[in-house]
Amino acid sequence: MKNGIKMINQKRLNRLKRMQKMLILCLVLVLSQLAFGQFKVSERAQLVYNEHENQFFVLDDSSHYWTQKPGSKHWIKHSYVYLGDVPFLEMMNTTRVLAMSKNKYYFAHESCGTVYELSHDTLKRIDRSFPHRNQYGAPMFAWRGSVFMFGGYGFFQVKNVFTRYVPTAQEWFEVNTKSKELPSARSAPLFYVEKNKFYILGGMNRDHLNDGYLQDTWMYDLTSKKWQKLGELNKRLSQDLNQVNLNINLPNGVFRMSNKLIELNLGENKWSSYENPLALNMCKIVSSKKNKYLMYVLSNSNNRDLEVRVQNFQDLKEMKIGEYQIFQKSSIFNQFPQEDYLWISLIMNFFLFSLLFYIRRIQKLKFLHRAQKKLIKSDFTKSEWEIMCMIYKHGEMELSALNEYFNEVGLSYETLKKRRETFVKNVRIKIALVTRKPIEEILVETKHSVDKRMKIIHWNDDIELDLDSE
């Protein structure tokens, strides 16, 4: 009886030991799928925040990827199979990851073209396209199951083409917008996606050997398919952006500049700057919804090890430097393309010339249509008015009496005579224009009754001078 009880107890003990081993094995397996706090990655690691699942995603090798819920502090390891048509490293080096839906990620070619999908623990190619090599440096983002790319550099020029990958067709198509005005060609702009709004800030408008930086800010409404120019970048932000090597394929509300972390709020048109020495070693940053958490890759100055960390953004805001506007509304002069300035200048000059000609013409017509009997001082020069007053007061004068107004030292008599005749002729013309009388009836000249060599100039009795206008 006692032996039977011992055998039963021994079996129970063996069973408990086996169960304990199984539990330990399961615990080891579970723990092997978890990482706490941080883990090391290579430079090729692909990172993204999945807003559909509210989790951070990291893929670094061909066998597994990692996810973490913001605030959980635990990384979960997921196994998958790579079935791509090119070597895994080539796929990683030429694509950028996008979160499309829950547990579904696309890896799209950085120049537009091939697309790989990670779904149901399998990473495989799903498109019928090819590497376009036409949109390097283009902002890339996902919206309602499609991938969008704007602008970029390829085939020795920068573009402003807007393309979209349609999963049902497995091809890329150009986006047809409803706006007449589009952003100019650019590559490597800072960009941001919020709900149905796609924002681009600045960028480069030439090749990487001879860069020219843009200062404008645009917004594209994905539902109405319309572009809207918001304004010009804040000079402080623009100057800093020109010196930053942005990871342009991560549409974030947070990025770094030197030892500063910059937080964007496009809805309120403001950006805030926070100083943190840790930012100097951040080489990639991904923000969660409303920028509450940051996932970043931290480099080590002693070696090439890279660590992925997730941290509450509030804990990284060591010192706030300032808060500024992102953009100001454009002046009217900045709303025209530079190539239109020449035409605008020509049109404005033509308009001003026409206006001056019209004003001059009106003044001349008014002058011609007065037909007044009284002459006023403002219609004549000072010398003309003085001589007219002298003739008017005497009624008539010898023509030679006017010589003192034109005589100069060394002047010949013929030249003096010519000047006098020209002067009298001009006065006749002006009086004729004002009074509307025939010119031959004004300031008539006759010969002297005694000395026929002398000429007398006569004032018209029906023409008066307004001496009060003096």
Tens digits of per-residue pLDDT, 136-150?
999 999 999 999 999
**Predicted local confidence at residue 341, as pLDDT:** 63
The 3-class secondary structure across 454-465, one letter per residue, is CEEEECCCCCEE
- Indicate where the chain has its CATH 2.120.10 domain(s): 27-335
* Mean per-residue pLDDT, 326-335: 70
Tokens 């390891």 -> residue:
77
* Mean per-residue pLDDT, 216-231: 94
**Predicted local confidence at residue 438, as pLDDT:** 85
Distance of alpha carbon 151 from alpha carbon 185, whole angstroms: 6
**Enclosing H/E stretch for 352:** helix 341-368
- Rounded to two decimals, the pTM is 0.66
Residue pair 326/237 in contact (Cβ under 8 Å)? The answer is yes
Tens digits of per-residue pLDDT, 77-92?
999 999 999 999 999 9
31 — pLDDT class (breaks 50, 70, 90): very low
The DSSP output letter for 334 is G
Tokens of 226: 């319309």
The DSSP output letter for 293 is E
Whether the per-residue pLDDT at 28 is higher than 70: the answer is: no
- Indicate where the chain has its CATH 1.10.10.10 domain(s): 370-469
Residue pair 232/239 in contact (Cβ under 8 Å)? The answer is no
**Predicted local confidence at residue 7, as pLDDT:** 64
Distance of alpha carbon 449 from alpha carbon 452, whole angstroms: 6
| Domain 27-335, architecture per CATH | 6 Propeller (2.120)
Fold of 370-469: Arc Repressor Mutant, subunit A (1.10.10)
**Predicted local confidence at residue 30, as pLDDT:** 43
Mean pLDDT over the full length of the chain: 84
Nearest to 339 by CA among 184, 107, 466: 184
Tens digits of per-residue pLDDT, 236-259?
787 766 655 544 445 678 888 888
Residue pair 271/367 in contact (Cβ under 8 Å)? The answer is no
Q: Dmax of the chain from CA atoms?
A: 183
Q: Which residue has the higher pLDDT, 233 or 172?
A: 172
Distance of alpha carbon 31 from alpha carbon 309, whole angstroms: 19
